[in-house]
Structure 1
Amino acid sequence: MKIPTRLSWPTSIEEARLIQEQWRDRVITSDCLPEIHWVAGVDLGFEDGGKTTRAAVAVLSFPDLKLVETAIAICPTIFPYVPGFLSFREAPPILKALRQLTTTPDLILCDGQGLAHPRRFGLACHLGTLLNCPTIGVAKSRFIGTHNEPAPKRGSWTPLKDGEEIIGAVLRTRTQVKPLYVSIGHKIGLETAIAYVLDCTPQYRLPETTRLADRLASNRIQS
């Protein structure tokens, strides 16, 4: 995976907003995927009262979802916690973790938003456009938008809307269990994103990719 090494990260909300507004037009919202052999999940944890970021990535084979590689990056937190701008806090350590991989993911699932973002440029969009890689946002809670409750059966979903615009899907990954919020990150359409999230979620509420990355990021398992 080609990962940018010389990136200038913003130091203010004004600079970050400008980057989001300039880069959101680069997001591809249709299927431009290779054949998927390796899927990855990324997540973060914070230590020292938020001063230190622990980024984790887990790579699994697809479709059998066997863990093949993990990586962790621990570094100082460089951007404050500001809703709507979390990718500037989270992307730098995630990129550092991704650089350690020997297996190149064909698809990355992010614990966060994609298009379901006020400026249509959440973490999944930011990572996807930086890496030129298909990405999906898979969030545990709603950030923006309105929706009807999906039917209780696994695989049921309803559109997540901002006004009349569909910005994601509210997806039931387990029957009678709280749904997830799925949105396009980059180089994938929404219905394809939903299908891959379900393929990566054979047992638990969360996809195996981000479930394992979450455990690594929170130091509940070792890499």
Structure 2
Amino acid sequence: MKVAKTSPWPATPEQAIALQDRLRSQVITENPRPPRFRTIAGLDSAYDEDGNVVAAIVVLDAETLETVETATARGTTDFPYVPGLLAFRELPTTARALETLTLTPDLLICDSQGRAHPRRFGFACHLGLLTGIPTVGVAKNAWGDYPEPARDRGSWSEITIDGDPVGRALRTRTGVKPVYVSVGHLINIETACDRVLSLTPEFRQPETTRRADRLCRQLLREISATGTASPG
């Protein structure tokens, strides 16, 4: 599948923040057409203290939740670790993994933030603009304020930053800590939460995230064993 290139790629936090501020207005937080998601991809990235980066993509059939394709990539980064700018450590390797897919997913689920971000432009927003595919951020922790949702599965409460609604704390399992859903691009929050619930029949995290995370951990173990992160 095709992924647009950002050129030149930011080399400093100041350049990265300027790019986020410039691109933020391009994010679309509505469904441009009636949603029909036949395939849904989960994306995850990880890195170690040596600057090795791995990315994993797992594409599922939206109805059966069976895995239909996977893709991985390895790389390195020297972009500094700065909260709110993690996309600039991870996106280049993620884009390479996506480009090896033989199919184009209908929806991307990122283990990251979308609009629930201090500049309203998290990893999921950036990836959505680069791919032109509906994208959702499903994070393990909230960036913003929210009241605790009711205990029942499907309950949610609004996440706000400085009073601005940016996402939802969504209960995917009764009595279990919620996940934090925010729009990345080309989807509204209601559709995003519906999709996340469809991907969590047994566990707190979406199946897309669980499987991509497992693949990322495997890649990092391989790097640790071989001492190399050559692209692939």
Tell me the TM-score normalised to structure 1 length.
Answer: 0.94
User: Is contact 2:5-2:130 (8 Å) kept?
Assistant: no
Which residue of structure 1 lines up, in the alignment, with residue 106 of structure 2? 106
Query: CA–CA distance in 2 between the matches of 1:172 and 1:182?
Result: 10
> Aligned residue pairs: how many?
220
User: Is contact 1:44-1:218 (8 Å) kept?
Assistant: no
Query: CA–CA distance in 2 between the matches of 1:195 and 1:106?
Result: 15
The within-5 A match list for 1:1-150 is 1-5=1-5, 7-33=7-33, 34-47=35-48, 49-143=49-143, 145-150=144-149
1:184 aligned counterpart, secondary structure = strand
Query: CA–CA distance in 2 between the matches of 1:20 and 1:191?
Result: 25
Deviation (angstroms), 1:90: 1.2
Deviation (angstroms), 1:50: 4.0
Give percent identity, aligned residues only: 49
Q: What are the ranges of 5 or more consecutive residues in structure 1 without an aligned counterpart?
A: none
Query: CA–CA distance in 1 between the matches of 2:165 and 2:86?
Result: 22
1:219 aligned counterpart, secondary structure = helix
Deviation (angstroms), 1:78: 3.8
RMSD over aligned Cα atoms: 1.6
Residues 73-125 of structure 1: CA deviation (Å, up to 9, x unaligned): 01112422100111111111110100111121110000000000011000000
Residues 184-207 of structure 1: CA deviation (Å, up to 9, x unaligned): 000011111110110111111100
Which residue of structure 2 lines up, in the alignment, with residue 192 of structure 1? 191
Query: CA–CA distance in 2 between the matches of 1:90 and 1:171?
Result: 25
**Superposed structure 1 runs of 4+ greater than 3 Å apart:** none
Q: What are the ranges of 5 or more consecutive residues in structure 2 without an aligned counterpart?
A: 223-232
Tell me the TM-score normalised to structure 2 length.
Answer: 0.91
